[in-house]
Each structure stands twice: as C-alpha cells, then as structure tokens.
Amino acid sequence: MGRELPKRVFIKTYGCQMNVYDSSRMADLLSPLGYRSAQAPEGADLVILNTCHIREKAAEKVFSELGQLKRLKETKGKRGGRMLIAVGGCVAQAEGAELLARAPFVDIVFGPQTYHRLPEFLARAARACGEGILDTSFPPEAKFDHLPDARADAGASAFLSVQEGCDKFCTFCVVPYTRGAEFSRPAAQILAEARRLAAAGAREIMLLGQNVNAYHGASPEGAKWGLGDLLRALSEIPGLLRLRYTTSHPRDFDDSLIAAHRDLPKLMPQLHLPVQSGADRVLAFMNRQHTADDYRRIVERLRKARPDLALSSDFIVGFPGEREEDFAATLALVREIGFAQAFSFKYSPRPGTPAAAVPGQVPESQKAERLLVLQRLISDEERRFNEGFLGRVVPVLLEKAGRRSGQLVGKSPYFQSVHVMAESGKKGEIVPVLIREVGLSSLGGVRVEAALA
C-alpha cells in the first residue's frame, strides 16, 4: 500500500479576532485527521469559510467567494476529484438554511458553537451524496470542553478566547443572535491554555470575548472570578510578558479590573473601548445602557489608574434617528478623549435586529458624508498620537520577518506595528527601538542598545 497523501484544508477567515481564534482551533481539530493547511483554495480538498455577519458588506463578501468556489468545485469534479465546501461562523449561524438553499453546492454549514463537531460533519459528508449538512444549534455541551489542545507552534503573540456571546442586545447588532448567550470559560482551562501557549513561544496573549470584561468564570477553587482576577493569575505565568484584552464594554468595568491596570505592569497600556456615539439620545436608541458622561467617567478612572493608557474605539454613524447635532456630539467626544485609534462604520441595517425596522433611517448619502468627516478627524488624531513617538525609544515585541532584508516587524506596548531594522533579534524577543519614522498605520525605527525606558 502506498503512503496516503496528506489532505489539504484551506480556511478563510472573515470578521473579528474571535473568528481568527476559532479558525485556528478548527485547524487543531483537523490536524489529527490528517489535514495540513493549503495556501489557496485551488490546492485544497476542504475549504472552510469562517464568516462574519456584522455588516452587510461582510456577508456579501461570503456569497461572492462562494460563487468562485462553486466554479472551482465543478472543475475539480470534472477531473474526477472532490472538494468539500464548509461554511462556518456568523453568516452560517444567521442564515444556515437559506444559505444551503441559495448555495446548494455547499456541503457543511455549522455555527460558532458547533465547530467542535467538524470531524463528525466530515465523516457524514464523506458518506452523503450531495445533501448538505446543517448544524447551527446551540448545543448544551461547551465546545471548549471538546477541542484538542492547541498546536505547539504559537506565534509571539497569541489569541485566547475567554468569554463568548452577548446578552446586551444593542439594537443594531447581530452578535447576541449569532454567538448566543454570554458564556465564560472556567479559569483553570484558560490558565492551562495560556501556559501551553507560553511554552510554545507566546510572549503576549490577547484575551478575547465579545464582552470580555463581562467575564465571570469559575476560579480554580470554584469561586467566581472577574476579568481582573483572571489577569492577575495570568500575569504570574513565567514567560508571558504582555497581556491585553478585547473587546470591552463600558458597562462592565469594575474596580478590580481598573485596579489591574494600575497594578499589573504586564497589562499593556492600550485599551479598545467602543463607545459608538457621543449623543445620549442615540446611545439610548442603541440600547447601549450608558451615557456619554458614563463613558467619560470610566476613561477618567482608567487614566487615573494608568496615566499612559492609550484608547481606541468604534463608532457607528447614521444610526436611525441620528440628527446633525447628535453627530456633532460624537465629534466633540472624539476631540475630547483623544483616541490613539478608532474604527468607524456606516450603520448597516441587519436582518432581525430591532433598529433595522424603525423609522428614521438616515439616507445613505448622509451616512457617507458623516463617515468622511469622522474618519478625517480620527486619522488626524491617530497621526498626532503616532508622531508623539518620534525620537523615543520603545520596547518592541518582535513577531515576524519584515519585507525588506534585515527588517523585523513587531508591536509596541500601544499595539502599533513597528518595522525594525536590526542586526539581530528573533521572534518573541522584546528589544529597544528608536522610532525614526511615522507611517499611516505603523512606526519605523532601529534597534538600539539603550536600556528600555
């Protein structure tokens, strides 16, 4: 008998970091089944699209990609080969049955909470003759209890999902429907995964959750831990040098988490804290459950705990009912807080969410206009923030080789990408870098021998 050729899987990931984490866990599940990763769908026996439903454009991309995969699958079929197509993630969860109806050439549709069953789906698909498999249930078992250990080749910076799902039901958002109810992994499971990542070379861990600071998991002793407690325990793991978490919600900052920013030098001075709008009217329509002043107060407390904290945020413009003065309040808040970075989006009505059906939808042209104005303001602030680093020496965690020879790419404590010219230095090392250039979204500099500030 000849040696069996390895099967190839190509996973394409859309959307947020949680999807990136999930995709890597899918690869962990497939590896014992003999799947190695393919660089492109052309060379794959199995193609998985891990999809995002957050805005209309994100979902559209999936259908256009599926159109291309259909042709590829047909070509392969004519040559006597077989390619399985699987769609996972949030579009699959939201539109499972419709998706199979619209794209009947798809073999498997599964949601964010059922991907631990992938091996079973594949076995069924191998036997099935053309009928699609659909599983977008919210199973009673936690998928995290059924995933194998992560592979042993972590990068210098690794993601770790600690919390999932959302009970907040902002009126614009699909996440509570696609990811399900809030769930926190037990701390012992998280600590074990973090230790394995550290042993595999990770120096930085980004804790992930749709509402990561709503974390309330069982402690190793069976009590309840908040995110502050979890960060304290993680900061004691030798080898881990940097901790971050995302995405946090303004409503879930407790004293213990704020104190963690004061007490834990490993907790990096950068925080993504979406506010969406600066107008209380709009925040109320959005069901954000906080006011603009609540947000200001949290920022003030955080900055008191960690004066060098840099903030980033998300904004939605053109939410139904948003008036010109509401938008002006958003601009005012941006100027006042001074964000190091921010992402802004035109409101995108999502099927099944309350805001999609209300009167007072803002015309597309007005949304586009507001987006432009906001993005200009934000990019000015980003540039100002980055220019403040010119001539400074910052500790950079090296992550990978750069495009030019002698160049490495890493991250500053503030999560800026830094291109480093260095004679030496390897992945996972933190080196002092003198910043000499400021680009649109990254910094550039040279490795120096000076002690780290």
One residue of 70, 124, 168, 427 binding ligand SF4 per CB under 6 A: 168
User: Using CA atoms, how far apart are residues 276 and 291, in angstroms rounded to an integer?
Assistant: 11
CA 366 from centre of chain = 29
> Residue 129: CB partners within 8 Å, gap ≥ 6?
none
User: Using CA atoms, how far apart are residues 422 and 447, in angstroms rounded to an integer?
Assistant: 5
Task: Establish if 350 lies at the interface with ligand SAH (CB under 6 A).
Answer: yes
| Shortest spacing between CB 239 and ligand F3S, in angstroms | 29
Handedness of CA 270, 276, 278, 284 (dihedral sign): negative
Task: Establish if 348 lies at the interface with ligand F3S (CB under 6 A).
Answer: no
Phi and psi for 419 in degrees, rounded to 5? -90, 125
Task: Establish if 178 lies at the interface with ligand SF4 (CB under 6 A).
Answer: no
User: Using CA atoms, how far apart are residues 142 and 170, in angstroms rounded to an integer?
Assistant: 25
| Shortest spacing between CB 286 and ligand SF4, in angstroms | 8
One residue of 114, 210, 213, 312 binding ligand SF4 per CB under 6 A: 210
One residue of 30, 38, 85, 90 binding ligand F3S per CB under 6 A: 90
User: Using CA atoms, how far apart are residues 249 and 145, in angstroms rounded to an integer?
Assistant: 26
**Taking CB under 6 A as the rule, which mask of x and - marks residues 190-209 in contact with ligand SAH?**
--------------------
Looking only at the bridges linking them, the beta strands covering 442-447 and 430-438 are antiparallel
The span of 19-27, 34-42, 164-172, 427-435 binding ligand SF4 (CB under 6 A) equals 164-172
83 binds, among ligand SF4, ligand F3S, ligand SAH, none (CB under 5 to 8 A by kind): none
| Shortest spacing between CB 173 and ligand SF4, in angstroms | 3
Binding residues with ligand F3S: total (CB under 6 A): 14
One residue of 28, 65, 76, 176 binding ligand SF4 per CB under 6 A: 176
For the chain, helix (H) and strand (E) counts, in that order, are 12, 21
Cβ-contact 284, 290 below 8 angstroms? no
Task: Locate 355 and state its tokens.
Answer: 């805001």
Nearest to 244 by CA among 278, 269, 211, 280: 269
User: Using CA atoms, how far apart are residues 210 and 162, in angstroms rounded to an integer?
Assistant: 10
Task: Establish if 170 lies at the interface with ligand SF4 (CB under 6 A).
Answer: yes
| Shortest spacing between CB 18 and ligand F3S, in angstroms | 5
Partners of 427 in beta bridges: none
One residue of 93, 276, 341, 412 binding ligand SAH per CB under 6 A: 276
Cβ-contact 229, 222 below 8 angstroms? no
Task: Establish if 139 lies at the interface with ligand SF4 (CB under 6 A).
Answer: no
The span of 61-69, 100-108, 261-269, 347-355 binding ligand SAH (CB under 6 A) equals 347-355
Binding residues with ligand SF4: total (CB under 6 A): 10
One residue of 9, 18, 275, 329 binding ligand F3S per CB under 6 A: 18
Cβ-contact 63, 99 below 8 angstroms? no
One residue of 175, 202, 237, 443 binding ligand SF4 per CB under 6 A: 175
What is the b/e burial string over 121-145, where b = at least 16 CB atoms within 10 angstroms of the residue's CB?
bbeebeeeeeebbbbbeeeeeebbe
Task: Establish if 138 lies at the interface with ligand SF4 (CB under 6 A).
Answer: no
Nearest to 167 by CA among 69, 49, 252, 54: 252
| Shortest spacing between CB 228 and ligand SF4, in angstroms | 19
176 binds, among ligand SAH, ligand SF4, ligand F3S, none (CB under 5 to 8 A by kind): ligand SF4
Task: Establish if 90 lies at the interface with ligand SF4 (CB under 6 A).
Answer: no
HSE at residue 369, side-chain half, CA atoms within 13 A, is: 9
169 binds, among ligand SF4, ligand SAH, ligand F3S, none (CB under 5 to 8 A by kind): ligand SF4
Give residue number: closest CB to ligand F3S. Answer: 15
Report the SS3 class of residue 135.
strand
HSE at residue 71, side-chain half, CA atoms within 13 A, is: 5
Task: Establish if 342 lies at the interface with ligand F3S (CB under 6 A).
Answer: no
The span of 27-35, 121-129, 140-148, 168-176 binding ligand SAH (CB under 6 A) equals 168-176
Binding residues for ligand F3S (CB under 6 A): 15-16, 18-19, 52-54, 89-90, 174-175, 178-179, 210
Binding residues for ligand SF4 (CB under 6 A): 166, 168-170, 173, 175-176, 210-211, 249
Binding residues for ligand SAH (CB under 6 A): 54-55, 172-173, 175, 210-211, 247, 249, 274, 276, 314, 316, 345, 347-348, 350
